[in-house]
Structure 1
């Protein structure tokens, strides 16, 4: 029996990540090879011509799963009836801009888009925020879309998760599929499953690769552009896996002593479209310090964002 199409919104669709993401969705990478989709693409008026070009390419490609395309600069039209929203659009920090200036711009964007989703999206819409600062943008969206359950709002940390997997697989010459995550990884070897930290007994290497942002900077240096392809692929992974153990930026309930009320990256398992935080993992001193520093930074960012609402 044919399935009804799922309406998927991509904001910032004419940008680099959007351009990489929409064909993946149309091809079934995000929702599977049997799920028809209708793409809703939103961008700002100056990008209208480029957005129409993306639509023309989607039509040219004749994706069998793609049952319709809405390309618009109107936020209400874009949000109407959507089941999944991937929020790629945001205001990037430019040279000479203060942090609060960037936050003010993004608060305005996410307040407007959240309000439109609140009024016009389908019931039980799931939202993934990609645009940085993703954690805080997701928090602002939650504030202005109160009828969307907090369990349905998350931000993208799967890119760093995937980068960690890739770096470990490269270091150990194993397949990414041979282990689930970095710090609690077991790697399948001819002698059986071994802890990754035992196979790479190099604390300096782990410390250097714990922060995957360096990979993003290296890609920008090599391409002269940001990592659009891997970000788009990670967004598809995030939605598709929303029973595996993955990383998602979700609303904190106080687990692992992370202050409640922040959007924070946790290890989660997903089943039937619902995520649950994995509990009881041991946290070493190095990771604890990194986690606390991240929580402190996010709390400061939250305070700054809320001050922009005043």
Structure 2
């Protein structure tokens, strides 16, 4: 049997982690024959709740889990880790300004980045789920400079999954019949869900999504708005933010990173921009990517029309401002 992978989950007492941990533990992410050591990190006031989560994981009696550690110490949580799900972040509270949220998260991700720099494997694969995910991932990378920038990512897979489900419902097909939808930019209401290069299998024939839907107005308006505002709609209905779907998306993201993408399919991930598609270098921006042997490659050469260019630039502008505000809070 393989050596256990050391996997850290932050915010481990929270709602998203509650769904995430079970999926990871039973082999949905790293494989059904890959043993795991799970390191669960949360803040001190949440340790009693976290201990309850540990009890439940133990009671699941999952053979792949060889060790469980619950801790409030980043120096314990990040030691020799192979993979990191950064779920924990300061949520925006009523009356809180955006700059206050950024300031609080800079503090959290600075401390965690410093612990990672000191203790994590340099090959660690990191996905940031906690919002603002793109900017939090940039801060994390800044404070772990010896870990390659390409090892840091943020999750836009939830947005991709949402978009895929919307198109599948519109076409009355199952979700696996829809592929290659792109999420460009920020995991926020400025993100751009793009179906121009997406494909759908309808009645046994593979066609482009615009060809299958045949409703340009829907694709440029209602569809984009629904995906952009889906998180808010869930909160309104459920009185809580997306948890089960966010956990599933985080699992999808990390599984593809470790297992790879297949055929001509790509997935959306927030990665550090290398200047592709005219996006400023250094921004954590969501692109379509392929993955082989754990190496992420941005899909190149896609045609970008005027409508898409405008949407892509708008979300990039928001990200530049966010990162600038966050960096202003960094006191080295």
* TM-score, normalised with respect to structure 2: 0.91
Secondary structure of 1:289 counterpart: helix
Equivalent in the alignment of 1:164: 163
Residue of 300, 311, 314 corresponding to 1:290: 311
What residue in structure 2 maps to residue 175 of structure 1? 174
Q: Report what 1:142 is aligned to.
A: 141
Question: What are the Cα deviations for residues 107-131 of structure 1, in whole angstroms up to 9, with x where unaligned?
Answer: 0000000000111112311111001
Q: Distance in 1 between matches of 2:141 and 2:244?
A: 27
Deviations 1:195-229 (A, max 9, x none): 11012122332122224232222222222211101
- Distance change (3 Å), C-alpha of 1:191 and 1:272: closer
The equivalent residue for 1:189 is 202
* Partner-residue secondary structure (3-state), 2:229: helix
Q: Using the alignment, how far apart are the partners of 2:320 and 2:198 within structure 1?
A: 29
- Look up the match of 1:198: 211
Residue 97 of structure 1 and its aligned partner are, at CA, apart by 1.1
Number of aligned residue pairs: 309
Q: Distance between the aligned counterparts of 2:84 and 2:117, measured in 1?
A: 12
Residue-by-residue CA offset, 1:250-280 (whole Å, 9 max, x unaligned): 0001101111110000000000001100001
Gaps of 5+ in 1: none
Q: How does 1:231-246 map to 2 (within 5 A)?
A: 231-242=246-257, 243-244=261-262, 245-246=266-267
SS at match of 2:179: coil
Q: How far apart, in 1, do the equivalents of 2:45 and 2:306 lie? A: 48
Task: Report the 3-state secondary structure (helix = DSSP H, G, I; strand = E; otherwise coil) of the residue aligned with 1:309.
Answer: coil
Question: SS in structure 2 opposite 1:7?
Answer: strand
For residues 238 and 27 of structure 2, the distance between their equivalents in structure 1, rounded to whole angstroms, comes to 27
When the two chains are superposed, the root-mean-square deviation of aligned CA atoms in Å is: 1.1
Q: 2:278 pairs with 221, 234, 257, which one?
A: 257
Separation in structure 2 between the aligned mates of residue 74 and residue 36 of structure 1, nearest angstrom: 24
| Structure 2: tracts of 5 or more residues without a match | 182-194
